[in-house]
């Protein structure tokens, strides 16, 4: 969430940022409400502090009066102490309530977009930041989309997944399972080579962790909730990995902190229907390798460029055509200041598929996380960044479709040492 001091001193900038996100005048009132609630909080806190100071002073006076034999005067002051206690109890309750309201108001305000974020309402307004320079692959007539290839080569089964669990839970088998495992290992190995520490995090998180990274209260509808234990299945490794250093002060000598983790990811994706979500294009469970960074505020956008280069390098090695989009205000995630999406081209479907989002959250997450560093005598919030490197379902779909031949599906050279075979053949 935004820092209160930033909100106070940059009120108009925040409002202009919300306009880029297409907030109307009613939505902009959340900023004024937060500032007003903070004024109320300060007022109640001051009155409470004054009462507590008065109580402490009276307590000392009462002790002195009893010692000097002035019992009647001491009892009068004791009566005032009781009044102060009652007034203080009411103010403490008022303070608790205004703090809750202030937190809710702050949670309702998204991050301020970076100045480079273009205006726009939907994903159709996203800006092509880096286009594919070569020719897009054109497949001969008779080639198949990946959901048909799955049946031809017996590499994954959506119907069995539906039988075992429900729609949107694919089952991988044979060479398909080995290709999936090869991609995970390749992505992790490349991240480790780039200096990221590998993490195997829990797949469920508590409410504090989900709130700290911004999944709550913004994305409850997308998350699977285990009600009995009050735990959430993770929608991405970003959530547990980013929470590793929650409530900590990091030594500047440790920066940058670079972490990577592979996890299955679980997303309800409610209301997703149609041909554009067939097969692996949109599923409720998918594998993903995530990269996460904690950075000095002065270096976070340099780090963002490094992360873009890392993801681009993976796609180059997989020999997949891709482009990079800069998300517009209307498509920008609630917690992000700037996001770039990577899309790979599916030759069989003849369209682009999103496979990665790389974002800088600046201090929005770290303020919730209380993730700080020492800058001389000052304690400051770090910047957090993360990105998919990569999400496997659509990567697998594009690899299968783009590399199909009459002799089978060719495996990219970079993966052959991981799979142990150079093509997928009918079983």
Residues 6+ apart with CB under 8 A from 114: 337, 338, 360
- Reported as half-sphere exposure (CB side, CA atoms, 13 A), residue 364 has a value of 25
**Under a CB-based contact definition with an 8 Å cutoff, are residues 159 and 167 in contact?**
no
334 marked ligand binding residue: no
Task: Look up tokens 């873009």; give the residue.
Answer: 308
Sign of the dihedral through C-alpha 101, 371, 308, 344: negative
Q: How far apart are CA 361 and CA 338, in angstroms?
A: 7
267 marked ligand binding residue: yes
383 marked ligand binding residue: no
What count of other Cβ atoms lies within 10 Å of the Cβ of residue 39?
13
386 marked ligand binding residue: yes
47 marked ligand binding residue: no
Q: What region does 362 belong to: left with phi over 0, alpha with psi -120 to 50, or beta?
A: left
**Under a CB-based contact definition with an 8 Å cutoff, are residues 366 and 384 in contact?**
yes
357 marked ligand binding residue: yes
Residue from 83, 1, 65 nearest 34 by CA: 1
Q: How far apart are CA 354 and CA 356, in angstroms?
A: 6
213 marked ligand binding residue: no
Task: Pinpoint the alpha helices (H) of 10-122.
Answer: 11-20, 25-67, 71-107
Q: What are phi and psi of 225, to 5 degrees?
A: -115, 130
DSSP-based three-state secondary structure for 236:
coil
55 marked ligand binding residue: no
284 marked ligand binding residue: yes
283 marked ligand binding residue: yes
CA 335 to chain centre: 7
354 marked ligand binding residue: yes
- Maximal CA-CA distance, the chain: 107
146 marked ligand binding residue: no
Q: What are phi and psi of 359, to 5 degrees?
A: -135, 150
340 marked ligand binding residue: no
**Under a CB-based contact definition with an 8 Å cutoff, are residues 125 and 328 in contact?**
yes
285 marked ligand binding residue: yes
* Residue ranges at the known binding site: 236, 267-269, 283-286, 290, 354-357, 386
* Residue ranges at the known binding site for L-serine: 236, 267, 290, 386
* Residue ranges at the known binding site for ATP: 267-269, 283-286, 354-357
């Amino acid at each position: 969430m935004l820092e209160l001091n930033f909100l106070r001193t940059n009120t108009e900038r925040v409002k202009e940022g919300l306009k880029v996100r297409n907030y109307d005048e009613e939505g902009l009132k959340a900023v004024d409400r937060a500032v007003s609630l903070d004024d109320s909080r300060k007022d109640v806190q001051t009155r409470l502090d004054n009462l507590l100071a008065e109580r402490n002073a009276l307590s000392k006076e009462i002790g002195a009066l009893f010692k000097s034999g002035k019992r009647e005067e001491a009892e009068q002051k004791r009566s005032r102490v009781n009044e102060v206690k009652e007034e203080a109890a009411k103010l403490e309750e008022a303070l608790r309530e205004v703090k809750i309201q202030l937190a809710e108001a702050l949670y309702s305000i998204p991050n301020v977009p970076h100045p480079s974020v273009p205006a726009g309402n939907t994903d159709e307004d996203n800006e092509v930041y880096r286009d594919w320079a070569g020719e897009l692959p054109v497949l001969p007539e008779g080639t198949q989309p990946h959901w048909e290839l799955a049946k031809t080569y017996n590499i994954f089964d959506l119907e069995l997944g539906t039988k075992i669990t429900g729609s949107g839970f694919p089952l991988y088998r044979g060479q398909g399972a080995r290709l999936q495992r090869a991609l995970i290992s390749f992505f992790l190995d490349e991240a480790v080579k780039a200096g990221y520490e590998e993490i195997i995090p829990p797949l469920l998180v508590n409410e504090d962790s989900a709130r700290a990274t911004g999944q709550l209260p913004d994305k409850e509808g997308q998350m699977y909730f285990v009600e009995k234990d009050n735990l959430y299945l993770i929608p991405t490794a970003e959530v547990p990995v980013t929470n590793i250093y929650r409530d900590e002060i990091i030594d500047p000598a440790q920066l940058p902190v670079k972490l990577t983790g592979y996890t299955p990811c679980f997303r309800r994706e409610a209301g997703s229907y149609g041909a554009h979500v067939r097969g692996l294009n949109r599923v409720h469970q998918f594998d993903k390798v995530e990269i996460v960074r904690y950075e000095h505020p002065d270096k976070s956008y340099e780090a963002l460029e490094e992360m873009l280069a890392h993801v681009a390098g993976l796609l180059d090695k997989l020999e997949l055509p891709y482009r990079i989009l800069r998300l517009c205000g209307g498509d920008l995630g609630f917690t992000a200041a700037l996001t770039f999406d990577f899309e790979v081209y599916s030759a069989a479907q003849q369209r682009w598929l999103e496979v990665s989002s790389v974002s800088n959250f600046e201090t929005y997450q770290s303020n919730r996380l209380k993730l700080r560093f020492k800058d001389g005598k000052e304690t400051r919030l770090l910047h957090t960044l993360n990105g998919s490197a990569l999400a496997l379902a659509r990567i697998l779909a594009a690899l299968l479709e783009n590399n199909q031949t009459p002799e089978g599906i060719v495996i990219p050279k970079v993966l052959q040492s991981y799979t142990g075979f150079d093509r997928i053949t009918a079983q």
